[in-house]
Amino acid sequence: MTRGSESRQLNIAAIQQTCSDNKETSLATSEALIREAVDGGAQLVVLQELHATLYFCQTEDVSVFELAEPIPGPTSNRLSVLAKELGVVLVGSIFERRMNGVYHNTAVVFEKDGSLAGLYRKMHIPDDPGFYEKFYFTPGDARFNSGESGFTPIDTSVGRLGVLVCWDQWYPEAARLMALAGADMLIYPTAIGWDVTDDADEQQRQLEAWVTVQRGHAVANNLPVIAPNRIGTEPDPSGQSDGIRFWGNSFICGPQGEFLARADDHNQTVLTATLDRERTEAIRRIWPHFRDRRIDAYGDILKRVRD
């Protein structure tokens, strides 16, 4: 469908913030930055992963499950009210208590009227030193009790949002399935940082790998990418490590991987950019990646390892 020149433009914002061990403090920071984004003209605002709390997965501690909430619940209701008040599509993050013993790392999407447009439960769950997420999170399954694949875009008034979460960003399969399902953009709320004992060269390699792989998803699928990440150094509650310094560098890129906006590694930021909604179609006409896919030859992709 051909859009008018005005409707072709979509103003978006990605929020990069520090977080507190007090949920109210963290949410108040998120809210202030959301209001700043909307005052600047944002029609879509994306918050980082687990923005209401510290990144608690540095250790395994059963008391942390007390932070989890149902959906609807206090945090989702607060985000819903804010989306309606400001007339903005809002992507937030919740440590979801789905039932006793089943918890998810869940992205929630609210429409401009405050209604829940959909949710996405993180599919790929890491378990690495400092990132012990398998202890806390059950992998996602069907989206929003719809029976649809976990890799299904969420329909909103600003487009079909291909929402994924953090560790999902390393998997080309997730991005491609969102693209095949008609996503207009890829969104990666993130909490990633450095082991503070790593040397500067190793830190730079990790950061550039993170940026490069997501820009690669933009290029391979001809889709914009929105990737908000947190900042600040958060201590390891167990004292067994020196904690994590979250590297920020939130960015928004276009469907050829071109940077539209990029933040630094230490400042709270409302990162803004304007997307051309018709650029994906224009790029796919000259780079027809989807036309030339050899789906008849990809059967082994469903195997854990190739025989």
Per-residue confidence band for 241, with pLDDT thresholds at 50, 70 and 90: confident
Half-sphere exposure of 2 (CA within 13 A, CB side): 2
What is residue 238's predicted lDDT score, i.e. its pLDDT?
A: 87
As given in the structure block, the two tokens for residue 159 are: 């487009």
Per-residue confidence band for 1, with pLDDT thresholds at 50, 70 and 90: very low
Measured distance CA(17)–CA(269) in Å, rounded? 7
Q: Which of 24, 125, 126 is nearest to 78 (CA)?
A: 24
One-letter amino acid for residue 174 of the chain: A
Catalytic residues: 49, 122, 166
Measured distance CA(162)–CA(171) in Å, rounded? 14
- Burial (CB count within 10 angstroms: exposed 0-12, middle 13-18, buried 19+), residue 24: exposed
Task: Please name the helix (run of DSSP H) or strand (run of DSSP E) that holds residue 78, with its range, or none.
Answer: helix 74-86
State mean pLDDT over 245-263: 98
Q: Please tell me the pTM assigned to this model.
A: 0.95
What is the share, in percent, of the chain residues with pLDDT greater than 90? 92
Cis peptide bond prior to 72, omega within 30° of 0? yes
How distant, in Å, are the alpha carbons of 40, 271, 272, 302 from that of 36? 6, 10, 11, 44
State mean pLDDT over 14-27: 97
Does residue 6 carry a pLDDT above 70?
Answer: no
pLDDT (tens digit per residue) in 91-149: 999 999 999 999 999 999 999 999 999 999 999 999 999 999 999 999 998 555 555 56
Measured distance CA(147)–CA(75) in Å, rounded? 25
Measured distance CA(120)–CA(153) in Å, rounded? 9
Asked whether the beta carbons of 156 and 110 are under 8 A apart, the reply is no
What is residue 240's predicted lDDT score, i.e. its pLDDT?
A: 85
State mean pLDDT over 46-59: 97
User: What are the structural domains, with CATH classification, of the chain?
Assistant: 10-292 (3.60.110.10)
pLDDT (tens digit per residue) in 154-183: 999 999 999 999 999 999 999 999 999 999
- Give buried/exposed letters for 110-129 (b at 16+ CB in 10 A, else e): bbbebebbbbbbbbbbbeee
